[in-house]
Amino acid sequence: MLMKADKIKLQAFFLTVAIFGTIIFSLLRISNTRNNIDILEDTLEGVKTIVPDTSEVYLFSNYRVPLSKNKIYFYTQFALAPRIIIKEDNQNAEESFNKVPNNGLILLIEDKISDSTFFPNIESSNEYKILYVKNNDMYGIKLLSKKPSSPVSLFSKTEE
Amino acid sequence: MILIALLFWTLSVFFLIDNKLKIRNKPLKIIISFFFTLAVISIIFFAALLTKVNYTLLVTVCIALPALFLVYKWGQLKEFAMGIDFKVTKTTIVVLVSILIYSLLFFATTSRWGNWDAWAIWTLHAKFLTYDAGYINLFTDATAWTHADYPLMLPSIIAITWKSFGNSSPLVPVMASYIIGIAVPLTIYFAFKEKNNVVTGQVILILLTCSIIFIPYASSQLSDSLLGLFILFPFVLIYLMPKEKPFHCLFLIGFFAAASGWVKNEGLLFFAIFSFYYLARNFRDLNNIKIYALGTILPLLVLFVFKFFYTPPNDLIDGQNSATLYKVMDIGRYLTIGRYFISTMLNEFGLLSALLVLIFFVDYKYYFSFNFIIILTLLVGYFFIYVVTPNDLEWHLSTSFSRLLHQVLPVFLFTAGVAISKRIDSGTYKHISGIYI
């Protein structure tokens, strides 16, 4: 028969185990879940190895809805911090592309869930050098560098 | 590595204050030591970033210095280790059950990376601080949307832990929030236990750990709980201040009051209000004021450098213009804020409202006490910030008001508990110029 004091000690022991068990189990659960931030961050891993920490990157995405467009921007800033992400006006993409300085870095993010395929056919342009491309089920990304040149002419779009 | 530094520093501070604070309760002293350590390390980390001190060197020094001190205090350390007595009583069971329920509720309500403000502001700031060269990008126009003027205690703590582990794990902000969240009710409980008011302590402990009044905000991974804790510490230390040689206590009061400004901008308002009333109360005791001021030096220094050399203007201050005067004279704004306050108190903080009424019947003099006057002045300060806010008023209220109440909830519960327990124990009151303590 356990003495009362021993019973209390046993209870305390099991409660302590339960507390640590809860913490460990919960941390493992959180560790094994992924959300949109993680998916985009994984997609942009290669960009981090190319773009220095102190750089600026001009972001274009295929979202048209303001809130969703902003979300991609915020997620991207979070994923690529401390690099500065500059959100460009996707409604005037060509004008915005022209504003990117020579040797400037451009990040194109295509959300596969979005119903618009917005990007100009950038590969055929001589004005940009493709530094990195990655695609998965959620996102397609291209990292480009603008070559030093005279102001660019309009290039064709593939757009629905 | 940083965890070792935290442990050594916490132990060092603990031994420094062990006999000086005249507090018998060891867990309470450990909590105070730990959060004092966290605040100091966050300041040192930020200073090291600005002065480009190598991170490895920084951690090495942070481990070596307290290690040397602990070797010097080897005898005391040995005595402490040998004297650890895991005495388990029924009250221990109550505490453990409360912690278990808190843990279950916390992890049920928290999420990977937290809510929007958590990752888009606090954790994002931590990401910038993780980089020796790139941190400066936090203070550019392009990142102004992330409120780069917000103080950096929590982001610094997260950043220095990430750097130590070598990766930016989402588990770090989660565990930081967990530890901060549980520290609040435990601090209150142990403070009451120190004065043998165990029942009062247990009631507040259960209230905070087992209800939704506190946990959803604690698990949000924002800085509000940390600010609530740093607002709480000065009041706890005043409650437990020894009558003779209270110097270490006064120093810590000054430190925590000032360091609350390094947690959030609202902490600056708290520090100003607390200091005003504290100085008014102690204006005859120059020695007390000097020691209080000494405690504020380190946090105020880092805040000065941060605010004047790095941060962009605060959006609330920068947004003031000629329309401000019209807002001040607009009665409609006062009514809107008042209505919002009442509805939030009744709907989300009903228990708090009930306590406010209960206190009136138990000890109406609480409303004239030093403690309550500070809390009330702070709430009045928040009120006027809403009056002049450049943001849409309804939007600003809906996105922030509950969190402001969360910040003052711990100190209100604690001070109300002090008043009630004093009445129950028929304790004596000290009457100073009409203000009851």
Residue A155, domain member (yes or no): no
pLDDT of residue B362: 85
Q: Is residue B11 part of a domain?
A: no
Whether the pLDDT of residue A144 is over 60: the answer is yes
Rounded distance, CA A76 to CA A141, Å? 11
- Please count the structural domains in chain B: 1
Cβ atoms of residues B261 and B267 within 8 Å: yes
B104 lies within 8 A of chain A by CB: yes
User: Which residues in chain A touch residue B173, judged by CB atoms under 8 angstroms apart?
Assistant: none
- Residue B408 counted as domain residue: yes
**Tokens 């920068």 belong to residue:** B318
Give the span between the Cα atoms of A19 and B182, in whole angstroms: 12
Taking only the tens place, the pLDDT of each residue in A13-34 is: 999 999 999 999 999 999 999 9
Judged by CB atoms closer than 8 Å, whether chains meet at A15 and B88 is answered as no
Per-residue pLDDT at B94: 93
Give the separation between CA B247 and CA B129, rounded to whole angstroms. 35
pLDDT digits 0-9 by tens, B231-267: 999 999 999 988 877 888 999 999 999 999 999 999 9
Cis bond before residue B27 (omega within 30° of 0): no
Largest pairwise CA distance in chain A: 91
Q: From CA B4, how far away is CA B141, in angstroms rounded?
A: 37
Confidence of residue B433 (pLDDT cuts 50, 70, 90): very low
The 3-state DSSP class for residue A155 equals coil
Answer whether residue B178 is part of any domain: no
B104, B107, B131: residue with CB nearest A82: B131
Whether residue A16 lies inside any domain: the answer is yes
* Per-residue pLDDT, A138: 80
Q: Is residue A151 part of a domain?
A: no
ipTM summary value: 0.87
Which of B88, B127, B158, B179 to mutate against chain A (most A CBs within 10 Å)?
Answer: B88
Cβ-based contacts of A53 with chain B (< 8 Å):
131, 133-134
- Residues paired with A87 in a beta bridge: A59
Residue A156 is assigned to a structural domain of this protein: no
Specify whether A88 is located in the same domain as A62. Answer: yes
Which 3 state secondary structure label does DSSP give A20?
A: helix
CA distance B381 to B267: 12
A108 and A140 assigned to the same domain: yes
Q: The domain containing residue A3 runs over which residues?
A: 1-33
Cβ–Cβ gap A19/B142 under 8 Å: no
Closest approach of B369 to chain A, Cα-based (Å): 38
The DSSP output letter for A23 is H
Indicate whether A49 and A106 sit together in one domain.
Answer: yes
Same domain, A18 and A67: no
A78–B124 C-beta distance less than 8 A: yes
User: Within this chain, do residues A59 and A134 fall inside the same structural domain, yes or no?
Assistant: yes
Mean pLDDT (chain B) is: 89
Q: Which of A37, A76, A85 to mutate to test the interface with B (most CBs of B within 10 A)?
A: A37
Are A18 and A81 within one domain? no
Question: Which residues does chain B have within 8 Å of residue A37's beta carbon, measured at their own beta carbons?
Answer: 113, 119
- Which of B72-81, B132-141, B244-253 shows the lowest mean pLDDT across its residues? B72-81
Considering only CB atoms, A8 lies closest to which of B89, B123, B175, namely B89
Reported confidence tier of residue A121, pLDDT bands at 50, 70, 90: low
A93 and A140, same structural domain? yes
Q: Quick one: pLDDT at residue B36?
A: 96
Q: Considering the domain boundaries, does residue B282 fall inside one?
A: no
d(CA B171, CA B222) in angstroms, rounded, equals 14
- Chain A residue numbers touching B131 (CB-CB < 8 A): 53, 82
Average pLDDT in the A99-105 region?
86
Partner-chain residue, chosen from B113, B137, B174, that has the shortest CB–CB distance to A37? B113
Give the confidence band of A64 by pLDDT, cuts at 50, 70, 90: low
| Phi/psi at B105 (5° precision) | -70, -40
**Interface A:B, Cβ pairs < 8 A:** 93
CA gap A77, B4 in Å, rounded: 32
Q: What's the CATH code of the domain at A135? A: 3.40.47
Most confident of the following: B8-17, B179-188, B243-252, B383-392: B179-188
**Quick one: residue B130, left, alpha or beta (phi over 0 = left, psi -120 to 50 = alpha)?**
alpha
Average pLDDT rounded to a whole number, residues B152-161: 96
Instruction: Categorize the per-residue pLDDT at A119 as very low, low, confident or very high, splitting at 50, 70 and 90.
Output: low
A86 shares its domain with A53 = yes
Asked if the Cβ–Cβ distance from B90 to A8 is below 8 Å, we say yes
Judged by DSSP in three states, A83 sits in: coil
CA distance, residue A158 to nearest chain B CA (Å)? 30
Percent of chain A as helix, strand, coil, to the nearest 5: 45, 20, 35
* pLDDT of B119: 94
**Subunit contact B127:A53, Cβ cutoff 8 A:** no
Give residue B425's pLDDT.
61
Tell me, yes or no, whether B437 lies in a domain: yes
Residue A114 lies in a domain: yes
User: pLDDT at position A118, please?
Assistant: 57
Based on the structure, what is the number of domains in chain A? 2
Model pLDDT, residue B375: 94
Nearest CA to B171 among B99, B110, B130, B226?
B110
The three-state (H, E, C) secondary structure of chain B, written as one string: CHHHHHHHHHHHHHHHHHCCCCCCCHHHHHHHHHHHHHHHHHHHHHHHHHCCCCHHHHHHHHHHHHHHHHHHCHHHHHHHHHCCCCCCCHHHHHHHHHHHHHHHHHHHHCCCCCCHHHHHHHHHHHHHHCCCCHHHHHHCHHHHHHCCCCCCHHHHHHHHHHHHHCCCCCHHHHHHHHHHHHHHHHHHHHHHHHCCCHHHHHHHHHHHHCCCCCHHHHCCCCCHHHHHHHHHHHHHHHHCCCCCCCHHHHHHHHHHHHHHHHCCHHHHHHHHHHHHHHHHHCCCCHHHHHHHHHHHHHHHHHHHHHHHHCCCCCHHHHCCCCHHHHHHCCHHHHHHHHHHHHHHHHHCCHHHHHHHHHHHHHHHHHHHCHHHHHHHHHHHHHHHHHHHCCCCHHHHHHHHHHHHHHHHHHHHHHHHHHHHHHHHCCCCCCEECCEEC
Tell me which residue of B275, B194, B270, B202 sits closest to B239, measured CA to CA. Answer: B194
Does A45 share its domain with A25? no
Contact B70, B77 (CB under 8 A): yes
- Chain segment B1-55, per-residue pLDDT in tens: 888 999 999 989 998 888 777 888 889 999 999 999 999 999 999 999 999 998 8
Res. B437 pLDDT band, cuts 50 70 90? very low
With CA atoms as reference, the chain A residue closest to B108 would be A26
Determine, yes or no, domain membership for B422: yes
For residues B253 and B236, is the Cβ–Cβ distance under 8 A?
A: no
Q: Is B93 on the interface with A (CB under 8 A)?
A: yes
Enclosing domain of residue B372: 313-437
Whether residue A92 is found in the same domain as residue A63: yes
pLDDT at B138 over 90: yes
Task: Give how far A156 is from chain B: nearest CA, Å.
Answer: 30
Nearest Cα of chain B lies from the Cα of A160 at a distance, in angstroms, of 32
Q: Does the distance separating the beta carbons of B134 and A81 come in below 8 Å?
A: yes
Q: Which residues in A lie closer than 8 A to residue B155 (C-beta atoms)?
A: none
Residues A158 and A106: their CA atoms lie apart, in Å, by: 18
Residue with tokens 């605060």: B314
Considering the domain boundaries, does residue B4 fall inside one? no
Q: Give the pLDDT of residue B285.
A: 86
